[in-house]
Chain A
Amino acid sequence: MIAVKNLTKIYGKDDAAVHALSECSITFDQGKFTAIIGTSGSGKSTLLHLAAGLDTADTGEIFYDSTNILSLGDVELSRFRLKNIGVVFQFFNLIPELTARENILLPLMLDKTPVDTSYFEMLTDKLEISNRLSHYPSQLSGGQQQRTAIARALIHKPSILLCDEPTGNLDSKSGAEVLKLLSSLQKSLGLTIVMVTHDEKIAAQADKIVRIEDGKICG
C-alpha cells in the first residue's frame, strides 16, 4: 500500500511560485490498478514523480507500507526504488546507446542481480518484443519502445509500477495494446499500478480513478 499524506510541492519562488501540489493525501491500494486523471498542469505527474522518489516534496510524507521514502537518504532511496518501484515514462526514456535487451537488463545490472532468464523471456514474449531485443531504440516503433520500457520497469520484479502517461505518445492502437498488457501484467503478477493519464477512456479501465485539479485531490 502507498499512502501519501499532506504532500505539498511548490515550484519557483515568490510571485513566480506555482503550487503543483497542495496538502495532497491519498492511498493507493495494494494489487490494484489506480488511474490518476487530471488536466494538463493539474499536478498529476508531479504526484507520480514524488511517489517514485524522483523529486522531493516541500512537505508531507509518502509511505510504502511502513517506509516513508521522503525520509530516506539518496543511497537508501535509490536502493528502495531499485527493489520496489518500476517507472514507465511517457517518452519511454530508453537509453539510445543501448539495445532493447541492454535497456531491459539495466536495472538488474545496476542492482548486480542475476537475470532470471525464464522471467525475462516470459516478459519479452508477453510484451511481444522478443524479436526486437538486438535493436536500438531508434530502430523501434513507438509502441515497441514503450513495451521495452515496460519490460525494463518490470524486470526487477517490483511490487509497484508507476506509469506517467504511458500511452500519451502512442497511437490509439498501440496505446490500447499497452493498456491491455499493463492490465494483464497487473493481474498475473499481482502488481500495484498507479497510472497518470488525462484520458477518461483509459482511466476507465482502472480499478480506481483519482481526480486531481490544481494540485488537490478531488475524488
Chain B
Amino acid sequence: MKANLFLIRKYWQCHKFQFVKIITAIMFLTALVTTSLLIERTELRRELRDIQFRNGLGSMVYGGNLNGGRFIRDKLISDEQLEILREDERVERVGKAAILGKIGDERRQYTCGAYYDENARELENLELLAGRFPESSGEAAIHDYIAENLFFEFEPQNALGREITLDLFDFDGNTNKTGAKVGELTIKIVGVIKSSANPGRPDKEYYQFFNDGGAELSTPVVYLYHGDVPLSENSQTYAYIEYAGADVYTEEFYEEHGAFMREMLENGLMIGQNMEAQSVSSLVNFAYQSSDISTKIYPSDTTTAIRYFSLLAIVISSIALFGVLYPIITEREKSLETMRNLGASKRRKYLILFMEALIFLTVGVLVGFVLSAGVYELILALQKSLLGLPALRAYSAEWGVEKISENPFVTAVICSAAVLALGYLIYFASHIKRGAKTPKKNAKPRSLGLLLGRVSGTFFANFTHALLVAAVIFTCTFGYCYSTTNGKGSSRWFRSEEFNGDSFFAVGNLDLREIGADAVIYSLNSGAGSIRVDRNTGITPDEARQLGEIPGITDVQCFARSEGFTLVYPQASENIPAPLLGTELEWYEGAEQVLPIFDYYYYETVAFFLNDAVISSLKDYVTEGEIGQYKNGVAEIIFEGKAPSFSVGEALQTISIDNQYTADVDIFEREAIVEAIVTLPESARESHPAMYELLGDLDVRNIRFAAPQANTEFISPLKSNYDYTVVKYAENADASRVFSQIKQTVLSDQAMIISTLAGARKSYSENLAAHFASIISIIAVIFLMMTAGFYAIIQTRLESAGKNFATLRALGMSRKAHKRLFALHTLRNTVFGCIGGAALSYAAKWLLRLREQKCLQMLGGGDGGYSDLGLDELQRAFINNSEHYLLLDYEMQYVPIIGFLLLLSGILLLLSAAFAFAVFSKTDKETIMEQINEKERSL
C-alpha cells in the first residue's frame, strides 16, 4: 500500500496539470449536481410556502388569522400551547406574534403589533426596504404605503427617524370593528417594509372611516417593539408555524397534515371557531384544493424546469469529464504498463488505478462541496438582496441526516462516482476493442482531408467535442420548447395568471397598456371603475384642473360613476323603456317621503360625470342633439347597433337617495333632460380606449347616462369628485418629475393611488425576475459549466493531437495551416454536434407525438388535442402524470424549432471558432516542440 501510494504521489507530482484538470472536472460536476439540487429544494420550499399563503394558511397561523379576512378573536396562544407546538417534531419552526390594536386617526387606522421572536418575522417573510426592525421601546417599522400616507414620503430612506404620535384604538369586544380609543402612541420610524413581499398578505390595509362597517383586520402593518405591546383581553396572539413535512403536495402529506391539525385542535389550538373534525377537513381541502390535487402532486413548472435543466446539465458536464478523463487515463496506463514490464502484477496495476480514482473522487467532491456551498449561498444572498426572495435554506444538519436519500450532497457523491466509474469502464472497453482493427491489403490512401481529419486529436476527443455540442443543442432546444407554446412566443411560464402581466397592469377592470395611459389616478375605494362608489372619493375638479396645468402632461381625462341617479316611472306608465323592463327594481326605505312607493317603479341606472376633455371626445360621437344645452341635461350613451331608449328633449323623473353615511335618509327629486344621444362605434375602442372601456363597463343595468361635471347634481348629488383619472404625458416629458408633481397635486387627502405604466412595467419585470430567479441562477451555473466544458474538451483535443501536429510541422506544415486545420476541425465537430443535437430534438418531438397519440387513443379522443375531449379530472391527471413521468413537456411537439436550431447552431459555430482560436493562440511552435521533447524524455 505504501509503495502504491508512493508511486501515485510521484506520478501525479510530475503531472500536476493533469491532476488539477481531472479534479476540476469532478469538482464542477459535483458542484453542479449539488447546487442545482439545493436550488431546486429551495424553490420547492418557496412554492410550498406561496401555496400555503395563497390558500390563506400563511405559515399555518394558529389562533389568529390570515385567512380571507376571517378573524378568530376568542383565542390567545398561551405559553403552554406554544410549547406544545415547539416540541412537536412535525413543526420545523414556530414563532409568536401579536396584534395589539390599531393606531391612526379618525380617518384611517393601521393594525399594529409585534413579533415576539425572530422566527415569526422570518416565517412571515417580510422584507425591509430601509432601516431595521424595532429593537427598543418607541421604535416601529412600517409598511411603505403607510410612509406615503403619513408623510407623503416615497423614498423609504427619508421616512427613517421620523416621529409621529397617533391614537391607539382597542379592538371592539364583539366584532372585527375597531374599538374605543385607549390612548396615544408615539412611534419613531426605524424601518420601512416592502408591501407585497409576502404573496399571502394583502398589499394594503383598507383605511377605515369611523362610521363605516366592519374593519377588516389583518396582521400588523405597523411593527412595534415587542415590549411596547401590552396584551389586553382584546389583543390577539398567534403563532406562525412551519410544518416540517414533505416539500411537495402529495396525498400522504395531505393526510398527515390533516391528522396534525386535528391533534392541534385537541390541544386547544384552533384555526377556526367551533372547529370540528369536518371543518378541519374542509379547511385542509381549502388549502390543498383537493379537487385539484392532481396538479399539486408534482412540483410547479418552475421547479420541474430546474430539474430538467439540471439533468441535462449533468449530462453535459459528464461528457466534459469523460473528455478530460480519457486522455489522462491513456497516459497513465502507459506509465503503469512500464511498471508491469518491470514485474508489477495486473492486480497491482488495477489497484493503483482504483486508488487514484478514489483520490480524484475524494478531493474533487470535497472541493466541489465547498464550491457549491459558496455558489449556493451567493445565489441565495443575491436573490434575497436583489429580488427580495425568502432565503429558505435547502438543508440543515438534522435534515441531511434524517433524509439521507434526498440529501443533495449524497446524490452528488453517487453521481460523481458513477460518472468516474463509467469513464474508466468506457476507456477499458474501447481499448479491448482497439486490438481488433484489421489492416486492409493494398488499401488506397485516403485523401489529405481525411488523413488530416484523423490527426486532429484522438477520435474520442473529437467525438466528445461533437457530443458536447449535441447535448448543448438539445438542452437549449428543450428549454426553448419548454418556454414556448405553439411557437407563438407566449411562454409557458408566462401562462399562469400570476405572470401573464395582466395583474400588474390592471387598474380595476382596465389594463394600463390597453388604455394607453401613462398614469391612472384613482381612489382606493373606487374600485378603479369596477365598483360604483357613492362616496365623494377621488380627485376634486380643482385638482383635475391643476393636473392639466402640470408641464409635461398633455391629456387629463376624468371619470366619475355613481348610482345616485334612479329613474322613476308610475306603475301605470306606458313609457317605461324596454331595456328597463325585466331589470331589478330598486326600492328604498323612506322613498315614500317623496313618492308613494307602491305607485312607482324605481330603476337604477349607471350615471357618469366627466371632465371637459372626455366630454369633448364624446361630442365626436353625438348622433342626436347636443351635449351641454341644459343645466340639467344628460346624454344617453349607446353602442353601435343599439337603439336609444329615450328621445332628445325627453324629461326624466329621477330621485337620488342617500342612506349610506348617516342615519337620516335624504331624498332628492330631480328632473333631468335628455339632451343628446351618443353612439359609441367599435372604432372608439381604438381611438378612445379609456373612455370606451369605462363608459362601456356594463353591469346588469342596460342604460347609462353621462353629463359634464357641472351637471353633477342631477346625476350624483352627493358626489363631485372624479374617482378615475387617466393622464397622458408628453413624449419628451420627464416622467419622474411629472409623477412627483402629480403626487403633490392629488394626494392631499391621502386616499388616492397613482398607477403608472412605467411603475407597472418595473414591478412586472421585478416580479418576473423574482419568479424565475432560481431558473436564471441554474442556467447561469450551467452556462459556466458549459464554457468550462468546452474549453476543457478543446484543450484535450489539442493535447491529444499535439504530437501529431508536431510531426506534421516537422514534415513541413506551416503554423498558419496548422491553426486553420485545428479551427476547421473544431467547426467540423460543431457541425456534426449541431446535426446530432437537431436529430435528437426531432427524435424527441417524434416520440412525444407518438405518446400523445397513444394517450388520445386510450382516451378515445380525436386529433384536436386534449382540450376538446371533455376529459374528466382523472383523465387529465393521467395525462399530467404521464408528462411528468416522461420528464418532457408535451408542448415540445408543437413548437417549430428549425429557426431556433439554425440560430443556436450559428452561435455555437462562432463560439467554437472563438474557443479554438483562444486555446490555440496559447500554443506556439516552441510549446509543441517542448511537448515532443517532454514525451520522448518521459519514455
A-to-B contact residues, CB < 8 Å: 49, 52, 54-56, 74-75, 77-79, 81-83, 87, 89-91, 93-95, 97-99, 101-102, 105-107, 109-112, 133-136, 139, 152
Extra 8 A-B pairs, beta carbons < 8 Å, given A107-B811, A134-B439: A78-B812, A78-B813, A79-B812, A81-B811, A93-B810, A97-B454, A110-B808, A134-B442
Within 8 Å CB of B454, what residues of A?
A: 95, 97-98
Find out whether the CB atom of A82 lies under 8 angstroms from the CB atom of B929. no
Contact string against A for B residues 789-820, beta-carbon threshold 8 Å, 1 for contact and 0 otherwise:
00000000000000110111111111111000
Quick one: which of B451, B810, B926 contacts A102, CB cutoff 8 A?
B451
B398 contacts the other chain (CB 8 A):
no
Chain B residue nearest in CB terms to A107:
B811
Name the B residues within 8 Å of A87 (CB-CB).
810-811
A and B contact pairs by CB, cutoff 8 A, 6 listed: A55-B925, A74-B814, A78-B809, A78-B815, A134-B440, A135-B439
B402 within 8 A of A: no
Q: Which residues of B contact A94 (CB under 8 A)?
A: 807
User: Which residues of chain B from 437 to 495 have a CB within 8 Å of any chain A CB?
Assistant: 437, 439-443, 445-446, 448, 451, 454-455, 459
The one of A56, A102, A135, A139 in contact with B446, judged by C-beta atoms closer than 8 angstroms, is: A102
* Residue contact B810 to A75, C-beta cutoff 8 Å: no
**Is B886 in the interface zone, CB < 8 Å from A?**
no
Q: Which residues of A contact B459 (CB under 8 A)?
A: 97
Q: Determine how close the nearest CB of chain A comes to the CB of B443; give it in whole angstroms.
A: 5
CB of B83 within 8 Å of the partner chain: no
Interchain CA distance A217-B925 in the complex, whole Å: 27
Of the candidates B441, B806, B816, the one whose C-beta lies within 8 Å of that of A134 is B441
Whether A107 and B812, one on each chain, are in contact in the complex, defined by CB atoms closer than 8 angstroms, is: yes
Complex CA–CA separation, A120 to B803 (angstroms): 26
Q: Are B816 and A110 in contact (CB under 8 A)?
A: no
CB distance from A113 to the nearest CB of B (A): 11
Complex Cα spacing A95 to B456, Å: 11
Tell me the minimal C-beta distance from A158 to chain B in angstroms.
10
Q: Are A93 and B451 in contact (CB under 8 A)?
A: no
Query: How many B residues touch the partner, as a band?
Result: 20 to 34
Separation in Å of the B930 CB from the closest CB of chain A? 9
Query: B811 to A56, Cβ gap below 8 A?
Result: no
A82 and B439 in contact, given A93-B803, A102-B451 (Cβ under 8 angstroms): no
For A78, list chain B residues within 8 Å (CB).
809, 812-815, 817
Using CB atoms, name the residue of chain A closest to B446: A102
* Shortest Cβ distance from residue B75 to the other chain A in the assembled complex, whole angstroms: 82
Q: Which of A87, A101, A134 has the most CB atoms of chain B within a 10 A radius of its CB? A: A134
B residues apposed to A, CB below 8 Å = 437, 439-443, 445-446, 448, 451, 454-455, 459, 803-804, 806-817, 925-926, 929, 932, 936, 939
Bound: A28/B297 CA distance, A? 85
Contact of A105 among B445, B810, B817, B925 (CB under 8 A): B445
Most chain A CB atoms below 10 A, which of B445, B808, B815, B926 = B445
Contact B451–A106 (Cβ < 8 Å)? yes
Shortest A119–chain B CB gap in Å is 16
Whether the Cβ atoms of A109 and B448 lie closer than 8 Å is: yes
Chain B contacts for A74, CB-based, 8 A: 814-816, 925
Given contacts A91-B936, A95-B807, A135-B439, contact A102 B445 (CB under 8 A): yes
Contact across chains for B810 and A54 when beta carbons are under 8 A apart: yes
Q: Are B448 and A110 in contact, CB atoms less than 8 angstroms apart?
A: yes
Report chain B residues within 8 Å CB of A95: 454-455, 804, 807-808
Min CB–CB distance B547 → chain A (angstroms): 75
Considering only CB atoms, which chain A residue lies closest to B435 in the complex?
A138
Instruction: Decide if A110 touches B813 in the complex (CB within 8 Å).
Output: yes
Q: Which residues of A contact B437 (CB under 8 A)?
A: 136
Q: How long is the Cα–Cα vector from A30 to B108 in the complex, in angstroms?
A: 110
B929 touching A101, Cβ below 8 Å: no
- Do the beta carbons of A134 and B443 come within 8 Å of each other? yes
Q: Which residues of A contact B440 (CB under 8 A)?
A: 134
Residue contact A110 to B811, C-beta cutoff 8 Å: yes
List the A side residues contacting B445 at CB < 8 Å.
99, 101-102, 105
Would you call B929 and A81 a contact (CB within 8 A)? no
Q: Which residue of B lies closest to A112 (CB)?
A: B448
Shortest B341–chain A CB gap in Å is 15
A52 to B448, alpha carbons, bound, how many Å?
Answer: 24
Q: Which residues of A contact B814 (CB under 8 A)?
A: 74-75, 77-79
Residue of B nearest to A80 (CB): B812
A202 to B441, CA, bound (A): 36
- B817 — which chain A residues lie within 8 A by C-beta? 78
A97–B455 touching, CB < 8 Å: yes
A139: chain B residues within 8 A (beta carbon): 439
Residues A90 and B936 in contact, CB atoms below 8 Å apart:
yes
Complex alpha-carbon distance, A129 and B925, angstroms = 32
**Do B439 and A136 touch (CB < 8 A)?**
yes
Q: Is B451 within 8 A of A98, CB to CB?
A: yes
Chain A residue, CB-CB nearest to B456:
A97
Bound state CA distance, A89 and B437, in angstroms? 26
- Bound together, the chains give a CA A49 to CA B926 distance in angstroms of 11
Return A182 CB to nearest CB of chain B, in Å: 18
Q: How far is the CA of A95 from the CA of B814 in the complex (A)?
A: 17
Distance of A82 Cα from B817 Cα, bound (Å):
13
Distance of A23 Cα from B440 Cα, bound (Å): 51
What's the minimum C-beta distance from B151 to chain A, rounded to whole angstroms? 70
Q: Is the CB of A109 within 8 A of B451?
A: yes
CA distance A74 to B814 in the complex (A): 6
Q: CB-nearest residue of chain B relative to A92?
A: B807
Bound complex: CA A202 to CA B815 (Å): 35
Q: Is B811's CB under 8 angstroms from A82's CB?
A: yes
**CB contact under 8 A between A110 and B809, given known A98-B451, A134-B439, A134-B443:** no
- Contacts of A56 on B, CB cut-off 8 Å? 925-926
Which residues of B lie under 8 Å from residue A90 when comparing CB positions?
Answer: 936
Cβ contact within 8 Å between B810 and A52: yes
Interface centre among A82, A98, A105, A139 (most CB of B within 10 A): A98
Given known pairs A101-B445, A139-B439, the reply for A55 and B810 (CB within 8 Å) is no
Across the interface, name the chain B residue whose C-beta is closest to A108: B448
A56 to B411, CA, bound (A): 53
In the complex, how many angstroms separate the beta carbon of A4 from the nearest chain B beta carbon?
18
> A94 to B804, alpha carbons, bound, how many Å?
8
A212 to B440, CA, bound (A): 46
Beta-carbon contact of A55 and B926 below 8 Å: yes
Instruction: Report A-chain residues with C-beta under 8 Å of the C-beta of B813.
Output: 78, 110
A101, A111, A135, A136: which contacts B812 (Cβ < 8 A)? A111
Which 4 residue pairs of A and B lie closest in terms of their CB atoms, listed nearest first? A82-B812, A78-B814, A97-B454, A109-B448
Return chain A residues, CB-CB under 8 Å to B809. Answer: 54, 78
